[in-house]
Structure 1
Amino acid sequence: MEDYTLPFWVYLLVVTVLVGGALKKVLASHLLAPPLLLGASVLGGAPLLLMVLLVLLVLMVLLYCRSHPLADLPSHGKAVLITGCDSGFGQATARRLDSLGFQVFATVLDLNSSGAKDLQRSCSSLLTLLRVDITQQSHVQQALTKVQSLLGPRGLWALVNNAGVCVNFGDAELSLMSNFRGCMEVNFFGTLSVTKSFLPLLRLSRGRIVNISSPAGDQPFPCLAAYGASKAALNLLTSTLRHELEPWGVQVCTVLPSSFRTGQSSNSEYWEQQHQRLLQDLPPALLQDYGEDYVTETKDLFKSHASRADPDLRPVIETIVRALLAPRPRPRYFAGPGIGLMYFISSYLPDNLSSRFLQKVFVKKTLLPRALRKESGIHLRINNNNNNNEEEKKGEEEKLK
C-alpha cells in the first residue's frame, strides 16, 4: 500500500466520528422540523438509524472517489516553468516532465554547471534552460521575455516554484540574521517575484501553480527557525493565492515533502563550512553561554539526519506530476512516508505530545547549553544516558568550575 494509506483511514475515522457526533447533537436539539420530529418519535430508533446511514453514506462516497479517480489531463502541448533545476527535486522534475511530453522551461543558476549539462544531454529538444537567480528581478524579467517569445500567443500551463535554500542549523538565538534574510530572500521573496511575473501567462491558460514547501513551515522543528519561518511565509502566501486566483481559473497547490537527500544535504564539507562560519561569527559571550560542544553536537546531528535521508526522489516527483495533471488538484499534497501521520498528530494531539514527536523524529539534542549546566552544577546530558566513567565525569565538572 502507498505511504498515505494509514493516514487516510485515520482521517476517515475522525471524519466519521465528527459527522456522527454532529448529527447526534442536531437530532437531540429542538430546532428540527416537525415532520422529522414526528417521524423520529414514530420510528423510535430512527435518530440512531439516520446517524448510521449518514456515516455509511460518507464512507461510500469517500471510498468511491478514492477507487474511481478522474482521468489525468493530457500533458502534450502544455508548457511548464520549473525553478531551481541545478539539482534535486527541480532537476528530477524537469527530466520527468520532459519524458511526459511537456514543454519544459528549467531555470538554473549556471548554464555550464554539471546539472545543467546533464539536463541538456538527457532531455529532448522541447526543454529550454534559462539562467535565473530568482532573487534578481532582472533575471526573472529576462526569463519572462524569453518564455513569451517561445510560447507566442499560448499561455504557460504551470509554474513549479521549487528553488529554495536552507542556510542555517541551530537555535534561533544562534542563527545569524544573514541566515534569516537569506532564507526569506530566496524561499519567499524570490518565489513571490517569479509568481507575480509569470501570473499573466498563467491566467491566460487558466493553469496552475505548484509550490514546493516544507513541513518546517507548519511545524516547529528544532533548530530550523530561519528556514521554517521562510516556508511559513510561503505557505500563507500560497493559501492566499489559492483564494485570490480561483476566479481566474488558476489553481494553486502546495507539495510538502518528507526528508529527502537533495542539494548540499549530503555534502560533509558544506556542514563543516557552515559550522566554522557560525563559530567565527557568534558573539563570544553567546558562544560561552551555549558552549562550542553544544554547537558542534547540533552540526553532527544535522549531518547524521541528512545521511539517513531518502535518496529516491520519485515520491516527490510523482506527486508534482499529479498536482500538474489532476483535473481537480488538492490544495496540499504530502510526499513521502510519515508526513500525513505527523500532520495528524500535530492537528489532533496535545501540543506537548506533538512537540515530543518532532524531537524524536528530528535532531535529538542530548547536551544542555553550557550556562544551564553550570546552574545545575552537573555535566548534563538531557537523557542522562552518559556512559563516561567516574574520572571523565570529574574532569568535566572541573572544566565547568
Structure 2
Amino acid sequence: MEDYTLPFWIYLAIVTVFIGGAMKKILASHLNATSTVVAWLGATVLVERLWAFCLPAMLLLVLFGITFCIYYATKTSQPRAMLPAHGKAVIITGCDSGFGNATAKHLDSLGFEVFATVLDLNGDGAKELQRTCSHRLTLLQVDITQPQQVQQALLDTKAKLGLKGLWALVNNAGVCVNFGDVELSLMSNYRGCMEVNFFGTLSITKAFLPLLRQAKGRIVTISSPAGDQPFPCLAAYGASKAALNLVTETLRHELEPWGVQVSTILPSSYRTAQSSNSAYWEKQHKHLLQNLSPALLEDYGEEYVTETKDLFQSFAKHTTTNLQPVVDTIAQALLAPQPQPRYFAGSGLSLMYFIHSYFPYSISNRFLKKRFLKKNVIPRALRKQSAFDVNLSLHNNNNEEKLQQM
C-alpha cells in the first residue's frame, strides 16, 4: 500500500463520495430492496473497472455494500410499532368511491373517528359508508372547489370535535378530465384539472391547517406519478399533480417547526370510479371531437383521436381493482411514528422511478411509452407528408435514371 501516491487517494476519495451520493439519492427515493441491491452491484462493477489494480479497495467497498444491504433488509423486515388509531380524528376528501371510500371504511375499522366528504349525500358511496361503518363516521357534503362548502365542513368538524384536535387530513379528491395530446386537450380540461386537483386541495388544506397545527397532526396527499413524469396524453392531469407535488413538498418544510408531518402517496395504476366506465370515455371522446377546430382535426385526424380513447379504455381494463395497497399505505402514513415524505403504493413504481432517475432520457422515455400508451396511428398530416416525400423521392430517382440513359 505504501506504493500508492497521494493523487490516487484523492481519486479514491472523490469516487467514493460520488458513489455514496448516488446511494443517498437512491435511498431518499425510498426504492425497494431489489433496486438498492442492483444499484450497489452497479457501483461495485464501476469500482472494479476503475480500480482493477487495487484489489483491497474493491473488496472493502463490496464488503461495505453487502453489510449495508443486510442491515437494510433486516431493518425493513422487522415489524414497526405503529401509533394507536383509537381516538384520532381524520378527515378524508372524495369518499364517494375509489381510494377515498375504501380508506374511510378501513380507517373506521381501525378505530379512527372519520369525517368523510362526499359530493352527494344520497349517492351510492355515501349510503354504503353509512351502512357499513360505525357511528364514529360522519358524512360531510363538500365540493372542494366551493369555498363556502369547505368553510361549512370546517365549522361542522370543529363543532363535533370540541377541544380535541384533528389528527390528519387525507387529500384524496381529484379528477382526470382529459385524454389527448397537449395540443388537442381543451383549455377547459386544463382548468378543470387544476381547479380540483390543485386549487381545491390547497383550499381545504389551508382551511384545516389551524386544527392540524393544534394537534401536531399530519397531512397525507394522494398524488400521481404523472406529476413527476411525462406520461403521454396526460398533460392536463399531470400538470395539476405536478403543482400539487410542489406545494405539498413546500408545506412539508414549512410545517416541520409546527410538528405537522406531511406525506405524499404515489399510487400505481388502479381501476377506480370513472376509469372503468365506457360511457365516460365515449362522452369525453365525443366532447373533444365536437370542440376541436376543423383545422386541428384535419391535421391529426379523427382516427388518431379515437385510437387514444381506445388505448385509455384498454389500459383501464387491465388495471387492478384491489385498492388495498393504497389503503394500507395511507394508514401507514397516518400511524407510523416517523412517516416518510413519499410512499410508492403498488407494483412497478420503484422500477419506473429508478429508470426515470438514473437512466438516460431516451431510455426512460421509451420505457414510459411502452408501459403506458403506445400509439400506432400517425397524425394525418404527417402521413400525407410521408407519402409526399416518398413520391417525390421516386420521381427524382426516375429523372436521374432517364438522365443517365441519355
What amino acid maps onto 1:10 in structure 2? S
1:156 is matched with which residue? 166
Does 2:18 align with 1:8? Answer: no
Q: Could you say what secondary structure the match of 2:274 adopts? A: coil
What amino acid maps onto 1:14 in structure 2? A
Quick check: 2:33–2:73 contact (8 Å CA) kept in 1? Answer: no
2:134 is matched with which residue? 124
When structure 1 is superposed on structure 2, of 110-119 and 62-71 the one drifting more is: 62-71
Summarize the alignment of residues 265-284 of structure 1 with structure 2, pairs less than 5 Å apart. 265-284=275-294
Does 2:251 align with 1:204? Answer: no
**By how many angstroms is 1:252 displaced?**
0.8
1:387 is matched with which residue? none
Does 2:170 align with 1:145? Answer: no
2:115 is matched with which residue? 105
**By how many angstroms is 1:315 displaced?**
1.1
When structure 1 is superposed on structure 2, of 45-54 and 258-267 the one drifting more is: 45-54
1:67 is matched with which residue? 77
Quick check: 1:319–1:333 contact (8 Å CA) kept in 2? Answer: yes
Q: Could you say what secondary structure the match of 1:168 adopts? A: coil
In the superposition, relative to structure 1, how do residues 298 and 118 fare at CA in structure 2: closer, same or farther (>3 Å)?
same
**By how many angstroms is 1:354 displaced?**
0.8
What is the alpha-carbon distance in structure 1 between the residues aligned to residue 113 and residue 219 of structure 2?
16
**By how many angstroms is 1:49 displaced?**
5.9
**By how many angstroms is 1:368 displaced?**
0.6
- Output the aligned Cα RMSD: 2.5
2:235 is matched with which residue? 225
The counterpart of 2:224, out of the listed 200, 214, 217, is 214
2:387 is matched with which residue? 377
What is the alpha-carbon distance in structure 1 between the residues aligned to residue 115 and residue 275 of structure 2?
25
What is the alpha-carbon distance in structure 1 between the residues aligned to residue 389 and residue 342 of structure 2?
45
Does 2:359 align with 1:349? Answer: yes
Q: TM-score, normalised by structure 1?
A: 0.85
Quick check: 1:88–1:262 contact (8 Å CA) kept in 2? Answer: yes
Quick check: 1:20–1:51 contact (8 Å CA) kept in 2? Answer: no
The counterpart of 2:61, out of the listed 51, 57, 61, is 51
Where structure 2 has 5 or more consecutive residues not aligned to the other structure, the ranges are 1-29, 391-406
**By how many angstroms is 1:247 displaced?**
1.1
The counterpart of 1:84, out of the listed 78, 94, 97, is 94
Quick check: 2:31–2:354 contact (8 Å CA) kept in 1? Answer: no
Q: TM-score, normalised by structure 2?
A: 0.84
Q: Could you say what secondary structure the match of 1:377 adopts? A: helix
In the superposition, relative to structure 1, how do residues 49 and 231 fare at CA in structure 2: closer, same or farther (>3 Å)?
same
What is the alpha-carbon distance in structure 1 between the residues aligned to residue 356 and residue 31 of structure 2?
16
Summarize the alignment of residues 308-323 of structure 1 with structure 2, pairs less than 5 Å apart. 308-323=318-333
Q: Could you say what secondary structure the match of 1:174 adopts? A: coil
The counterpart of 1:294, out of the listed 274, 296, 304, is 304
In the superposition, relative to structure 1, how do residues 101 and 213 fare at CA in structure 2: closer, same or farther (>3 Å)?
same
In the superposition, relative to structure 1, how do residues 16 and 208 fare at CA in structure 2: closer, same or farther (>3 Å)?
farther
**By how many angstroms is 1:203 displaced?**
1.0
What is the alpha-carbon distance in structure 2 between the residues aligned to residue 375 and residue 202 of structure 1?
59
1:262 is matched with which residue? 272
What is the alpha-carbon distance in structure 2 between the residues aligned to residue 244 and residue 15 of structure 1?
34
